[in-house]
Structure 1
Amino acid sequence: MSKIFHDLPHGLYEWVEQSGGGSITRLERHLARREAWVVDITAPGGHVTEGFLRLDRNPIKGSAASLYKEAMICQALEDTDIPAPRLYAWSDDHCAALLARDAGRSDIDKLEDTARQRAIMQDFIKIIARLHRLNTDTLGLDKVLGAKPQTAAELALGDLDLQLRNFKRFLDNYTDPLMTYAVQWLRQHVPLEVPQMALVQGDTGPVNFMFQQNKVSVVVDWEWGHWGDPMEDLGNICVREFWNPCGGLDGLFKLYEQESGLPYQRFSAQYYRIQQNVRGMVGIHAVCAKPPQQEPLAWYLCYRYVTDRATCEGIADAMGIRIARPEMPTTTARADLLVSTAADSLRRDVLPRVDNAFAHSRAQDAARLIECLDRRSRFSATLNDTEREEIGELLGHRFAGVTQAQQALVTAIEARTLDDEKLLQYLARKAYRDEWLYAPVVELYPDRQWSALD
């Protein structure tokens, strides 16, 4: 059989066949933000290994999130009662992992049966409670995850600080008042009461597990795993339930408390849902500023602007500060003829005729990006004037341009000379306006709201 068409790095196709003990008979690009492939490997005797191939073409050495770390955690959990994917093989040369593919589904947010959603989430919470009870000294992960944190601040900020160091070159030349304030807020409000240190998944919750019937069959995506405060995973669950609503969180963290024997701490959950947002914000902003060729920019823009808004709302909730959505600008400027024609052509003439799911998704993303370009051309000047004026009012100084105003605001935030309430209210208005401006990509995840915490 001729080799299946692919654009895998040189030699990876052959490594997969060798690792799986047969020939590749199915290879399809998986619809995911990070590159992955569905692969079947058929042995000479006819046995089919159903695999899931993950690879990182541009690994960052020492990154807070890494595919190598994910692979080693899956391997370490194989002899526990935590259902993690089986690791078939790891390649240092290709930074690739061949994992077992589960037959279940991950789209719990798409279920119409709310009772079934609740049963699955309860089963998942019990798994997370068991994860946090594992003896960290017997997992053999010290060389992979590094030295165990010794203080509450190290537990809360370790991965964030690592992320900031990894993106230092980008951040040194990047101005973003919200990121500056959010990082500062996290440093000032570290939860000091930590029930115990545990292996935490670091990005856990809906869609990062598979289910069959009413049970979780496997928990996936361990690349952010590390030693941490168990409450961090509860904050992670808040974030993933925000993106993938599946019936809310009512009662789930009390169930966790019963199953784990660890106390549920509400402020810690609030803190860590902000921490995960900010930790992710660093990489997302970097990708949006200079997107790699293989990355779906429309999705990253959606994550960026929805996450910015959600971060403001999360901090406001934790601090008891009221924020409000501002009125959005209006303009009489017409849509650019070339831009609107290109978007219409993609939606009318191209998308209905694209059968490949991956290509269809990318063509749809292109149409959304074109529509965002049109909105930026019509509204950016008005929005920039608004930002310049509002920052001027906040700082008591008039600025000639929005870039100068934003730089001055970052300086004031770093100096801690501003009132938290007024600053956060401005940052929230800015985030609401940005989310509105990029509405075509935000529609990928429309109307996302935080679920109430117990």
Structure 2
Amino acid sequence: MATATENATELGANTLSSELVDWVGDAANGTVISADRRPGGGRREAWVVEVRGADGAVRPLFLRYDRLDPEEKGDDFTLHREAAFFRALGGTAVPVPSIVGVHPVEQAILSELVPGQARFSRLHDEGQRVSVASDFMRILAEMHRVDPHRLGLPDQDPDADLRVLVHREIDTWEKVYRDSGSSDPLIDLGLDWVRSHVPDVSGPVVIVQGDTGPGNFLYENGKVTAVLDLELGHLGDPHDDLAWVSVRAVQEPFTNLVERFDDYARVAGTDVDLDRVRFYRVLAELRIVILGHRRRTEPDLLGEVGNSLVYGLLHRRLLLEALGDVVGVAIADVEPVPSVPGERDWLYGAALEQIRQIIVPRSEDPFVIQRSKGLARILKHLREAESVSAPVEQRDLDDLEAVLDYRPSSVAAGTAELVRRCLEGTVPVETAVATLLRQVAGETQALRPAMGVLADRHFDPLER
């Protein structure tokens, strides 16, 4: 059995260590002949590797890899933990990639490469879109039928009361937040709300995928071929996953959401409780914002910074909109501040045009193209922020002064005081949410050129 790569030095600019390449070869009983890093993968790297077996046949496989030590990353969502969810769902009605190997030390999962497309937004035929989306909701209902005892993780108790599990889930995410060593008033507000509004139901307890929906499954020929990304999996309420579908549908519109919930209910044999979906929508957005907070406090300079800016702000806004929905604050239009052109605008323009007309067209590596577009988003944001940041700041200070009865020294200090008073009960939560929504409108204006259509995306209606 050959185990060494034929040429470890030619595996691309983003290389895998020779030790990891050897492990891939051992796990697949062959020799690694190529490794290609692919765009996406969220917080983890995504690689397609080809392994030649003793019979000469080439076998394509998929490698999910996280270079960060779990202790350094500051959360318990390891690839080793995720592998337990894939194994629990293996052999059930839920299509998941077959695990070839899990590295005993490093955070790496090697699996079969499943055919299919991940980007639901690339599917334009409406009949095909409905077919795939309906099939996914069927599979999600089947996932919630899988015996949760199959999971076998010591921190996930399938016999616990659902309310206990939800509080434990909130504890888990609060720990991730507190371990960052810095505070965010929006997260403090969100944690306080979800703790005091956990649905008063004892079950059922199911395997929850977490972060489920368009973008986290593969499809082909009108059907789902595999469910992907179980990083945030846990035991909990099936409505948690339905809320995630609602969240991800903002990023990639997922046909008629009400009809998709009907699809789920038919297969699950139970009604969908929209109030519970609304609760878990707040919790889902809170989790995303906590992950974004961690990235801001410990930035990865080689990460997808442009995407992080866009999606970080999108989900801060969506968290506030989800909170507004449950406390009765409507989304109000906020008049944009006047944009003042800057002396350096032409430099931003030159950089953007060179990325658009020279760098991207001459790049053949999808990973390089993706990162180039991310750099363009950063430049678009910086150019617009120079033009609007000062008047937005003055408007935010005016808003805070009207609520606090004094003008704070900064927007950050005033926001912290606003939320502190809200948590102690002297400022209504509705007032805090409305004020923060106006703040995020200003932030959205500064990031709008980089956000594109996401700047105006909101949750789909949950009711007819």
Could you say which TM-score interval applies, normalised by the shorter chain? over 0.9
- Measure the CA separation in 2 of the matches of 1:63 and 1:332: 42
1:92 match? 104
Kept after mapping to 2: 8 A contact 1:278/1:311: yes
Amino acid paired to 1:317: D
Question: Match for 1:351 among 360, 385, 389?
Answer: 360
Question: Match for 1:39 among 16, 37, 49?
Answer: 49
1:270 match? 278
The verdict on how the C-alpha distance between 1:157 and 1:110 changes in structure 2, with shifts beyond 3 A counting, is farther
1:224 match? 232
CA RMSD of aligned residues (A): 2.1
1:393 match? 402
2:299 match? 291
1:5 match? 11
2:266 match? 258
SS in 2 for 1:79: coil
- 1:362-401 map, 5 Å: 362-401=371-410
- Measure the CA separation in 2 of the matches of 1:104 and 1:311: 31
Relative to structure 2, which stretch is displaced further, 401-410 or 205-214? 401-410
The verdict on how the C-alpha distance between 1:140 and 1:199 changes in structure 2, with shifts beyond 3 A counting, is closer
The verdict on how the C-alpha distance between 1:246 and 1:263 changes in structure 2, with shifts beyond 3 A counting, is closer
Structure 1 segments of 4 or more deviating over 6 A? none
CA shift, 1:149, in A, is 7.2
State the TM-score, normalized to the length of structure 2: 0.91
Q: Which runs of 5+ in 1 are unaligned?
A: none
Instruction: Find out whether 1:414 has 2:423 as its counterpart.
Output: yes
- 1:306-317 map, 5 Å: 306-317=314-325
Amino acid paired to 1:310: L
1:169 match? 179
2:195 match? 187
CA shift, 1:224, in A, is 0.9
1:447 match? 456
Q: Which has the higher contact order (CA 8 A, sep 6+)?
A: 1
2:446 match? 437
CA shift, 1:120, in A, is 1.5
- 1:122-141 map, 5 Å: 122-137=134-149, 139-141=150-152
The verdict on how the C-alpha distance between 1:219 and 1:67 changes in structure 2, with shifts beyond 3 A counting, is same
The verdict on how the C-alpha distance between 1:238 and 1:296 changes in structure 2, with shifts beyond 3 A counting, is same
- 1:94-133 map, 5 Å: 94-133=106-145
- Measure the CA separation in 2 of the matches of 1:403 and 1:130: 46
- Measure the CA separation in 1 of the matches of 2:448 and 2:339: 16
- Measure the CA separation in 2 of the matches of 1:42 and 1:444: 44
Q: Which runs of 5+ in 2 are unaligned?
A: 1-5
**Percent pairwise identity:** 26
Q: For 1:210-265, what per-residue CA distance to the aligned partner results, in whole angstroms no more than 9, with x for missing partners? A: 11212211111111111101111111111111211121212222332222233310
Kept after mapping to 2: 8 A contact 1:149/1:227: no
The verdict on how the C-alpha distance between 1:332 and 1:431 changes in structure 2, with shifts beyond 3 A counting, is closer
CA shift, 1:335, in A, is 4.7
Kept after mapping to 2: 8 A contact 1:288/1:297: no
- Measure the CA separation in 2 of the matches of 1:87 and 1:164: 31
CA shift, 1:101, in A, is 1.1
Q: For 1:282-323, what per-residue CA distance to the aligned partner results, in whole angstroms no more than 9, with x for missing partners? A: 111221343214310111111111111112222222333223
SS in 1 for 2:337: coil
State the TM-score, normalized to the length of structure 1: 0.93
1:80 match? 92
Kept after mapping to 2: 8 A contact 1:52/1:100: yes
1:24 match? 32
Instruction: Find out whether 1:155 has 2:170 as its counterpart.
Output: no
2:413 match? 404
Kept after mapping to 2: 8 A contact 1:277/1:311: yes
Question: Match for 1:424 among 429, 433, 448?
Answer: 433
Q: For 1:18-45, what per-residue CA distance to the aligned partner results, in whole angstroms no more than 9, with x for missing partners? A: 1111122331111113311011111121
Instruction: Find out whether 1:282 has 2:300 as its counterpart.
Output: no
Kept after mapping to 1: 8 A contact 2:213/2:249: yes
CA shift, 1:341, in A, is 3.1
Amino acid paired to 2:201: E
- Measure the CA separation in 2 of the matches of 1:136 and 1:191: 20
The verdict on how the C-alpha distance between 1:453 and 1:331 changes in structure 2, with shifts beyond 3 A counting, is closer
